[in-house]
Amino acid sequence: MQTKIKKILETHTKLKFPHPWGNEELANWLTDLSELDGYYVGIAQSIAAGKPIPEQIEYEFLRTMKLDLQILEETGDIDKETFNTCEKYLKSLEDLAAEVKKMTGQKTPSKGK
Please tell me the predicted confidence (pLDDT) of residue 108. 42
DSSP per-residue string spanning 26-61: HHHHHHHHHHHHHHHHHHHHHHHTT----SS---HH
List the chain pLDDT tens, one digit each, 113 residues. 578 999 999 999 999 999 887 788 999 999 999 999 999 999 999 999 999 888 889 899 999 999 999 999 999 888 899 999 999 999 999 999 999 999 887 644 444 44
Please tell me the predicted confidence (pLDDT) of residue 1. 58
| Residue ranges making up the domain that contains 14 | 2-103
108 assigned to some structural domain: no
- From the list 20, 8, 3, the residue with the least C-alpha distance to 91 is 8
How many domains are there within the chain?
Answer: 1
Under a CB-based contact definition with an 8 Å cutoff, are residues 43 and 7 in contact?
no
Greatest distance between any 2 Cα atoms in the chain: 43
112 assigned to some structural domain: no
- Quick check: helix, strand or coil at residue 107? coil
Please tell me the predicted confidence (pLDDT) of residue 20. 80
